[in-house]
Amino acid sequence: MSYQRDTIESLIPAIWDEAFAMDAKDPLGPAEGAPKSKSDPSHGNGKLAMICDVQQAWAYADLELEERQAVLVRFGMDEDYDSAARILGETHKMTVHRRCTRGIVKLGLYLNGGKAWAEELSPSEDDEA
């Protein structure tokens, strides 16, 4: 299994929200009343396993402090980029967007063994531009 960007973004709240893992909020789960298929546990990739993976990536991936802060505010607190910029004291929402992008890419690199959207991770962008 390869972790895609949208999957990582949808699982980030589980880093801080215990109810997320208990199906109180499940953006990846089946719709109400949808038919359920039997799954083979040997294939893994269940929601709890993915949450554990993302939590481990958050703990060990090489994110800069500013990237962690941006990801926390944008995805953990569910703020839009304008609000996140205000909360973080930035004048441009694109600064927060770039930091989030780099943070998510780094999480993806960690989760996928170094193979994830590397083209999106530029060597050193100037966040103040």
Would you say 81 and 97 are in contact if contact means Cβ atoms under 8 Å apart? Answer: yes
Q: Which of 118, 101, 112, 114 is nearest to 66 (CA)?
A: 101
Q: In sequence order, what are the residues at sequence separation of 6 or more whose Cβ sits closer than 8 angstroms to the Cβ of residue 40? A: none
Mean pLDDT of 89-113: 95
CA dist 104 → 51, 113, 121, 129 (Å): 15, 14, 10, 21
The pLDDT assigned to 53 comes to: 93
82 pLDDT higher than 80: yes
Whole-angstrom distance, CA of residue 82 vs CA of residue 121: 22
Domain boundaries, the chain: 5-20+45-119
Which pLDDT tens digit goes with each residue over 27-76? 556 555 555 555 554 455 588 889 999 999 999 999 999 999 999 999 99
Which CATH number is 5-20+45-119's, of 2.40.10, 1.10.10, 2.60.40, 1.20.120?
Answer: 1.10.10
- Separation of alpha carbons 97 and 75, rounded Å: 11
pLDDT at 19: 80
pTM: predicted TM-score of the whole model, two decimal places? 0.74
Helices (H) and strands (E) in the chain, counts: 6, 0
